[in-house]
Amino acid sequence: MSDTVLNPSPSSAPSSAPPSGAVKAPMVRRMMFAVALAAIAGLMFGLDVGVISGALGFIRDEFHATDFEQSWIVSSMMFGAAVGAVGAGRMSYAFGRRRSLIFSAFLFVAGGLVCALASSVSELIIGRAMLGLAIGIGSFVAPLYISEVSDISRRGSLVSMYQLMITLGILLAFVSNAILSYSGSWRWMLGIMAIPGTFFLIGSFFLPDSPRWLMLRGRHDEALSIMKELRHNPELAHQEIRDIQGQIHDRQRGLAMFLENRNFRRAVLLGIALQVMQQLTGINVVMYYAPRIFQEVGFGSSGQIWGTAIVGVVNWLATFIAIAFADNWGRRPMLITGFAIMSAGLAVLATIMSGAAGNTDLSHYLAISVLLCFIAGFAFSAGPLVWVLCSEIMPLQGRDFGITCSTVTNWVTNMVVGATFLGLLTTLGASHTFWLYAGLNALFIFMVLFFVPETKGVSLESIETKLNQGVTLRNIGR
Ligand code: BGC
């Protein structure tokens, strides 16, 4: 992707593309280490999102947890993540990206152990909230850190690696769930997460501080010496430090700008709407409750757990489609196609769940096929592109504030979806619940048609200029 990133950093999503055809600078080992280690935060994020679907059934049986309690075991993580995302901006400014990552890694390990050793539902909820806090901080700081230490010629692809690591984490968790499901050891499912977490924790002590953060704190000499370690050429390091120096004069503005500037408000509200749409596709219903969905369709226990693992594979693979095509095909066509596929897939699933197709092998295979189409539809469209668009539409001066608002919205809506799904199944029934999500996805096609700009190949400066001229949101891109 050119000037776009997947799941981008709040403040330093690149403001302009590296010149096309620019020669890529040789990768310095120190930079690779920093990027790879920070990307483990994405892996941890994915692992913790993915693990609960496999563990939930066993937890329910051991603690006789009600639907309400199960919903909170799932959703306390999103609550923690929303709180973490709200606080992460200030924390990473005050204490630095590196220390924030160390804190997040510590919470990953501690939260994983609290969950694995929990002796009651409330302890589990506390452990999940700690993991959520870790995810909320990590999902803000890690992409930010990666974009600040990587060189401009690779920044887009290195940050997009973070989103790929999330989907890889989900996949690995689904596979580990499948393997551990035979023994029913949900404590191992949750506890095993502490292993990569410990890796992440130890490694993060060796991370260099972000030069950009050091500059923000006025520590110029340290910033320059770290930048020299991260770049193959000292002249390049000096140049980047000079560029940062030039940029940091533009102080970030937030709430005041939101209240007084109508155009900034429009961008923030579009970001919020995009994240609400992403979550109301119902993606996390599948991520958290996939085995339960397979059970509703009529699969036995091993079918449920392996079906879920295949969901993880498709989610991971289809993310590559977004990386390959978003800059050629464009955001709007990909989003519209994605929502159409998701809507149609869920409508067929709802029909199968109504019993109209009977409980046959054929209906089982049809159910799994449409669910996989739904996942693929999400993974190449709303999954990554909503994050991309949220960074593209925010004016530079308000980017921290704007992206914090949309990221928190993502987690809050995520929590609402996670907390209401089992209740919806009980009150509306499976078929009507999926009709509801199918309808929402159909509605989002129109939302994209009317409100979402095409930002492919358009510079962020041009988007900002049109936004400030009061051009309708749909036309601030091309
Ligand atoms: C969403 C997450 C979701 C993940 C699935 C992300 O873009 O924000 O809520 O779990 O995709 O891959």
Question: How many A from CA of 166 to the centre of ligand 1?
Answer: 8
For the CA of 167, the nearest atom of ligand 1: 12
C-beta 412 within 6 A of ligand 1: no
Mean pLDDT of the chain: 85
CA gyration radius, the chain:
22
Q: Which of the listed residues 5, 162, 283, 317 should we mutate to test ligand 1's pocket, taking the one with most ligand atoms within 8 A of CB?
A: 283
For the CA of 170, the nearest atom of ligand 1: 12
Confidence of residue 10 (pLDDT cuts 50, 70, 90): very low
Residue 39 · residue 162 · CB < 8 Å: yes
What's the pLDDT tens digit per position in 353-404?
Answer: 887 767 777 888 888 899 999 999 999 999 888 888 887 888 877 877 888 8
Residue 389: name the closest of 341, 449, 335, 338 by CA.
335
Domain formed by 29-475, architecture: Up-down Bundle (1.20)
CA distance 16 to 324: 19
Confidence of residue 16 (pLDDT cuts 50, 70, 90): very low
Question: How many A from CA of 302 to the centre of ligand 1?
Answer: 25
Question: How many A from CA of 45 to the centre of ligand 1?
Answer: 10
For the CA of 414, the nearest atom of ligand 1: 9
Question: How many A from CA of 93 to the centre of ligand 1?
Answer: 26
Structure-model confidence comparison of residues 347 and 359, the more confident one: 347
Estimate to the nearest angstrom the gap between the alpha carbon of 385 and the chain centroid: 11
pLDDT at 232: 81
Kindly provide the b/e burial profile for residues 265-278, where b requires at least 16 CB atoms within 10 angstroms of the residue's own CB.
Answer: ebbbbbbbbbbbbb
C-beta 287 within 6 A of ligand 1: yes
pLDDT at 277: 98
Is it the case that residue 98 has pLDDT exceeding 50? yes
Question: How many A from CA of 314 to the centre of ligand 1?
Answer: 13
CA distance 360 to 456: 45
One-letter amino acid for residue 24 of the chain:
K
What's the pLDDT tens digit per position in 298-312?
Answer: 788 888 888 888 999
Which of 71-80, 117-126, 458-467 shows the lowest per-residue confidence on average (mean pLDDT)?
Answer: 458-467
C-beta 49 within 6 A of ligand 1: yes
Q: Which of the listed residues 287, 334, 390 should we mutate to test ligand 1's pocket, taking the one with most ligand atoms within 8 A of CB?
A: 287
The Cβ-side half-sphere exposure at 425, using a 13 Å CA radius, reads: 17
CA distance 16 to 293: 43
C-beta 319 within 6 A of ligand 1: no
Three-state secondary structure string covering the chain: CCCCCCCCCCCCCCCCCCCCCCCCCCCCHHHHHHHHHHHHHHHHHHHHHHHHHHHHHHHHHHHCCCHHHHHHHHHHHHHHHHHHHHHHHHHHHHCCHHHHHHHHHHHHHHHHHHHHHCCCHHHHHHHHHHHHHHHHHHHHHHHHHHHHHCCHHHHHHHHHHHHHHHHHHHHHHHHHHHHHHCCCCHHHHHHCCHHHHHHHHHHHCCCCCCHHHHHHCCCHHHHHHHHHHHCCCHHHHHHHHHHHHHHCCCCCCCHHHHHHCHHHHHHHHHHHHHHHHHHHCCHHHHHHHHHHHHHHHCCCHHHHHHHHHHHHHHHHHHHHHHHHHCCCCCHHHHHHHHHHHHHHHHHHHHHHHCCCCCCCHHHHHHHHHHHHHHHHHHHCCHHHHHHHHHHHHCCHHHHHHHHHHHHHHHHHHHHHHHHHHHHHHHHHCHHHHHHHHHHHHHHHHHHHHHHCCCCCCCCHHHHHHHHHCCCCHHHCCC
Is it the case that residue 15 has pLDDT exceeding 50? no
What's the pLDDT tens digit per position in 126-135?
Answer: 999 999 999 9
Q: Which of the listed residues 77, 166, 410 should we mutate to test ligand 1's pocket, taking the one with most ligand atoms within 8 A of CB?
A: 166
Distances (CA, A) of 456 to 59, 175, 307, 463: 45, 36, 35, 11
Sign of CA dihedral 58, 61, 65, 67: positive
Burial class of residue 400 (count of CB atoms within 10 Å of its CB; 0-12, 13-18, 19+): buried
What's the pLDDT tens digit per position in 223-235?
Answer: 998 988 888 888 8
Token pair in block for residue 417: 């979806």
Is it the case that residue 4 has pLDDT exceeding 50? no
Segment 28-51 shows an average pLDDT of: 87
C-beta 410 within 6 A of ligand 1: yes
pTM of the model: 0.81
C-beta 283 within 6 A of ligand 1: yes
What's the pLDDT tens digit per position in 112-128?
Answer: 999 999 999 999 999 99
For residue 263, the tally of other CB atoms under 10 A from its CB is 18
